[in-house]
């Protein structure tokens, strides 16, 4: 495989793109983005699970671009809410809600829930699709607790309210390097690296 073979990272989320740039370093692919490829079509996340959404995005953008494509769907699963928001994490507080509005909305729902019942996890499912229709998947999980208030300036999404007991820090207090050692996306990306290394040998 040529060292300039491209891998499309199918997200417009700048935070995710920053993380993937680090997590996928050293692979025999040149990372490219939807905007760099001039792709403006939005693939609707209409699946009922993270797996369905990741596959839907990866296969659609692989077909549109003609490139091997990596797409993920990530969600926060809160035990006291029966696993919500899950696949609806981005739209939980409304279609155009900001990260702060999503965090505030979730904290309000958990206002009367005691600490021991605020267990939650971030889950990330990555799908890697080839233009020929091949698909492979990986998954990562990061366990934590929903805090009572937001803290930290880093990360994005629900990171400010996700507390990591073993580190005594909120996810948003971690440096990118720290987050990329323990996060759900880091774990899924580590497995995806193996998938991509195999692909690079057979293409």
Which residue in the list 72, 73, 99, 159 is annotated as catalytic?
73
What residues contact 130, with CB distance under 8 A and at least 6 apart?
Answer: 62, 68, 69, 199, 203
Q: How far apart are CA 160 and CA 174, in angstroms?
A: 10
Rg (CA), the chain: 17
Is 73 one of the catalytic residues? yes
Within the chain, residue ranges assigned H as helices are 14-23, 50-65, 99-109, 176-182, 184-202
Q: How far apart are CA 161 and CA 163, in angstroms?
A: 6
Q: How far apart are CA 64 and CA 73, in angstroms?
A: 19
Catalytic center residues: 73
């Amino acid at each position: 495989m040529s060292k300039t073979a491209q891998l499309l990272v199918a997200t417009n989320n700048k935070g995710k793109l920053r993380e993937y740039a680090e997590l996928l370093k050293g692979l025999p692919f040149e990372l490219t983005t939807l905007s760099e490829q001039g792709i403006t079509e939005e693939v609707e996340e209409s699946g009922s699970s993270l797996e369905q959404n990741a596959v839907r995005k990866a296969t659609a953008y692989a077909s549109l671009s003609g490139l091997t494509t990596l797409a993920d769907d990530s969600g926060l699963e809160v035990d006291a809410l029966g696993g919500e928001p899950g696949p609806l994490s981005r739209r939980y507080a409304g279609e155009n809600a900001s990260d702060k509005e999503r965090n505030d909305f979730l904290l309000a729902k958990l206002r009367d829930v005691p600490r021991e019942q605020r267990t939650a996890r971030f889950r990330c499912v990555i799908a890697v699709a080839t233009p020929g229709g091949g698909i492979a998947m990986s998954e990562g999980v990061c366990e934590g607790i929903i805090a009572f208030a937001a803290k930290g300036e880093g990360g994005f999404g629900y990171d400010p309210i996700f507390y990591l007991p073993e580190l005594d820090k909120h996810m948003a207090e971690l440096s990118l390097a720290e987050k990329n050692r323990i996060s759900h996306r880091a774990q899924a990306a580590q497995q995806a690296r193996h998938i991509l290394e195999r692909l690079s040998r057979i293409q």
